[in-house]
């Protein structure tokens, strides 16, 4: 999904679940405000923002490719699971695609809950699953226009996901 | 059986196409069979699918293991491990 239209919320879950895949940047404050609007049962908001690094000045940009349709579906499945598992009041996940310059936003996760541990855990769980299960791929573009490499998947990301199995 | 196959990231780039409609032989029953079949379609295909373990798959937008049956799927996607986030 692209454009500035708010993604549809999942009415089957008690939590407000919003997932958007877009080329445009996002505004963290307004995403938090949207989750908190009209609710008095939220005691904690945890956010995670993933940005593009320049890898020691080597990169001119990262290009994010995704599988349209499946990308939103996969993240929504993970978000619904997080909402249920940690009894969140709301969760918002936004992932950008296209060319992203160093210092710019790539991904945002906002999790709200009555208490802080659930909000932290919800955001962390969502990111660990998103990194290994959402169909996105990163290609590096080097400064000076050199041919870029596709970023390799990390074993550490699989281990980060696996730690949630033990709980 | 005709099937839409879609490719992403370096799989797409090295094959020089994002998708194609393929007529699959009768003996292609699983994702693994499909990958083995693709490897016979030409030099680029052979190179891309030489190491099947590095290829991930989705059947109709759901993750699928290599031993999963293709059945009446509309779309099979083949791609490297994901690196989003």
To the nearest whole angstrom, how far is the Cα of B28 from the nearest Cα of chain A?
24
Q: Taking CB atoms and an 8 Å limit, are B82 and A107 in contact across chains?
A: no
Mark B4-38 as b/e (b = at least 16 C-beta within 10 Å).
ebbbbbbbbeebeeeeeebebeeebebbbbbbebb
- Partner-chain contact A136 B58, CB within 8 Å: no
Q: What is the mean pLDDT of residues A158-162?
A: 93
Average pLDDT over residues A136-152: 90
CA A131 to chain B, closest CA, distance in angstroms equals 5
pLDDT at residue A2, rounded to an integer: 39
Q: How many CB pairs under 8 A join A and B?
A: 73
The domains of chain A are located at 16-166
Q: What is the value of ipTM here, to two decimals? A: 0.95
Q: Please indicate whether, in this complex, the C-beta atoms of A73 and B9 are within 8 angstroms of each other.
A: no
The pLDDT tens digits for A96-127 are 999 999 999 999 999 999 999 999 999 999 99
In the predicted model, what is the mean pLDDT of residues A43-59?
Answer: 96
Instruction: State the fold for domain A16-166.
Output: Aldehyde Oxidoreductase; domain 3 (3.90.1170)
pLDDT, tens digit, 9 for 90 and up, residues A13-45 = 479 999 999 999 999 999 999 999 999 999 999
Question: Which residues of chain B are within 8 Å of residue A125 when distances are taken between CB atoms?
Answer: none
Assess B4–A contact: CB distance below 8 Å, yes or no.
no
Question: Half-sphere exposure of residue B19, counting CA atoms within 13 Å on the CB side?
Answer: 10
Q: How many other CB atoms sit within 10 Å of the CB of residue A83?
A: 24
Q: Which of residues 18-37 of A touch B (CB under 8 A)?
A: none
Instruction: Write out chain B residues lying below 8 Å of A79, CB-based.
Output: none
- CA dist., res. A108 & res. A22, Å (int): 11
Mean of pLDDT values over B3-21: 98
pLDDT at B32 (0 to 100): 98
Per-residue pLDDT at A148: 84
Q: Helices A70-85 and A116-133 meet at what angle, rounded to 10?
A: 150
Rounded CA gap, B4 and B24, in Å? 10
Q: How far is A74 from A47, CA to CA, in rounded Å?
A: 20
pLDDT at position A166 is 72
Interface of B with A in 25-84 (CB under 8 A): 58, 61-63, 77, 79-84
pLDDT at A167: 64
- Residue B71: pLDDT over 60: yes
Of A69, A127, A133, the CB nearest to B82: A133
> Does the CB of A64 have a partner CB in chain B at under 8 Å?
yes
Q: Is the pLDDT of residue A53 over 70?
A: yes
- Residue A139 contacts B, CB cutoff 8 Å: yes
| Region of B6 on the Ramachandran plot (φ > 0 left; ψ -120 to 50 alpha; else beta) | beta
Smallest CA-to-CA distance from B29 within B78, B80, B76 is with B76
**Residue-level pLDDT at A145:** 84
């Amino acid at each position: 999904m692209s454009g500035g239209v708010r993604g549809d919320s999942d009415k089957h879950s008690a939590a407000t679940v919003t997932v958007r895949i877009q080329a445009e940047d996002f505004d963290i404050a307004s995403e938090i405000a949207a989750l908190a609007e009209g609710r008095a049962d939220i005691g904690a908001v945890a956010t995670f923002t993933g940005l593009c690094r320049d890898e020691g000045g080597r990169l001119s940009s990262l290009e994010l490719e995704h599988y349209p349709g499946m990308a939103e579906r996969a993240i929504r499945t993970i978000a619904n699971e997080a909402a249920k598992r940690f009894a969140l009041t709301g969760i918002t996940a936004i992932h950008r695609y296209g060319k992203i310059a160093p210092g710019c936003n790539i991904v945002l996760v906002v999790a709200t809950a009555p208490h802080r541990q659930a909000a932290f855990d919800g955001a962390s769980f969502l990111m660990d699953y998103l990194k290994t299960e959402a169909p996105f791929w990163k290609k590096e573009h080097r400064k000076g226009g050199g041919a870029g490499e596709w970023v390799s998947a990390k074993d550490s990301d699989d281990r980060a996901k696996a730690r949630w199995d033990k709980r | 059986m005709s099937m839409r196959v879609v490719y992403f990231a370096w799989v797409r780039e090295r094959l020089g196409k994002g998708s194609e409609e393929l007529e699959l032989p009768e003996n292609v029953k699983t994702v693994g069979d499909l990958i083995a079949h693709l490897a016979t379609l030409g030099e680029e295909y052979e190179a891309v699918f030489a190491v099947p373990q590095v290829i991930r798959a989705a059947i109709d937008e759901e993750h699928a293991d290599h031993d999963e049956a293709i059945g009446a799927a509309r779309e099979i996607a083949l791609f490297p491990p994901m690196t989003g986030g």
